[in-house]
Amino acid sequence: MRVDLHVHTWISDGDVSPSDVVRLASAGGLGAVAITDHDTVGGVREALSAAATLPIDVIPGIEISTRWDAHELHILGYWIDPQAPTILEHQERAVRRRFDRMEAMLDRLRALGVPISLADVELAAGPSVHSLGRPHLARALQARGHTRFYGEAFVRYIGDNGPAFVGTGFPPPAEAIASIKAAGGVAVWAHPPLGWFTEGLPRMVEWGIDGVECYRPGVDPGDLSMLEEGTRAFGLIPTGGSDWHGPHRAALGDFAVQGHRVRQLLALGGITV
């Protein structure tokens, strides 16, 4: 079985609906897909419903943005109860945090001589989005002609070291991990920064992390060995996924993880390989 355990829909910053994600995943030969929208579970119910008539399993999930020191760290939650109080409370707080953060970035852009409004960002995001993020701002900047292409927004303005970047407002990793576990889920470190992985992994373990996203596009064999060895050394669960946001980057299923590599995570939800 081929699976993808890191997929986004237009409920956060993806390009297609939860139903279409499931249909595309099935058409792409995947046997399971995890819906992991940023800080929201708003697309999980629709995805589960779409999977009812297809030969594919949907794993309910979330990707929580956190902040520790100078690092923005993302925590994936798998097999969560979407109606768990901790998840719904996080979702509500995250919408407000992201709104406040967006306004702060817009203020910085205007101070740099780049006029852009919240209405521009909301138009670029579309009516289905539950919480605003940097990808929506990047699309708005391109649409208004302030950048020539999507990625230029991050290079010039809103990347982690950009003059309009605002990194405050996210919860600490320990809080996100606790919220996921209280919802019956498994907490996994998403796309860990390779240069900080060895130093950061013991901290993640201290905070209660259950697994590490090892298998993802663009990781060379040496770095993959480092990720796998660190995961094994701490007795953690290996996972993997494409971090797919839409067909403009790749077709869903072009990158997949063989089920035996993530057997442990799949088995926790009753999926056998």
Q: Could you report the per-residue pLDDT of 135-182, keeping only the tens digit for each?
A: 999 999 999 999 999 999 999 999 988 999 997 778 999 999 999 999
Q: Is residue 164 part of a domain?
A: no
Choose the weakest-confidence range: 78-87, 126-135, 204-213.
126-135
Quote the number of domains for the chain: 1
Average model confidence (pLDDT) across the chain: 95
Q: Residues 138, 245: contact at Cβ < 8 Å?
A: no
Mean pLDDT throughout 186-209?
97
pLDDT for 233: 98
Q: Residues 264, 31: contact at Cβ < 8 Å?
A: no
Q: Is residue 210 part of a domain?
A: yes
Comparing CA positions, the residue from 207, 195, 214, 198 lying closest to residue 257 is 214
Dihedral sign for Cα atoms in the order 49, 55, 57, 58 = negative
Mean pLDDT throughout 39-63?
97
Q: Is residue 145 part of a domain?
A: no
Q: For residue 75, is pLDDT > 80?
A: yes
Per-residue pLDDT reduced to its tens digit, 201-251 = 999 999 999 999 999 999 999 999 999 999 999 999 999 999 999 998 899
Q: Is residue 12 part of a domain?
A: yes
Q: Is residue 117 part of a domain?
A: no
> What percentage of the chain reaches a pLDDT higher than 70?
100
pLDDT for 248: 84
Q: Is residue 108 part of a domain?
A: no
273: three-class secondary structure by DSSP = coil
Mean pLDDT throughout 5-14?
94
**Residue 45: which residues within 8 A CB-CB, separation 6 or more?**
82
Q: Residues 244, 4: contact at Cβ < 8 Å?
A: yes
Q: Is residue 247 part of a domain?
A: yes
pLDDT for 132: 86
Q: For residue 130, is pLDDT > 80?
A: no
Q: Is residue 62 part of a domain?
A: yes
pLDDT for 70: 80
d(CA 39, CA 66): 10
Q: For residue 69, is pLDDT > 90?
A: no
Mean pLDDT throughout 29-48?
97
State which residues form the domain around 203.
2-90+169-268
Query: Tokens 């740099």 correspond to what residue?
Result: 112
pTM: 0.90
* CATH code for the domain in which residue 210 is found: 3.20.20.140
Choose the weakest-confidence range: 58-62, 124-128, 195-199, 228-232.
124-128
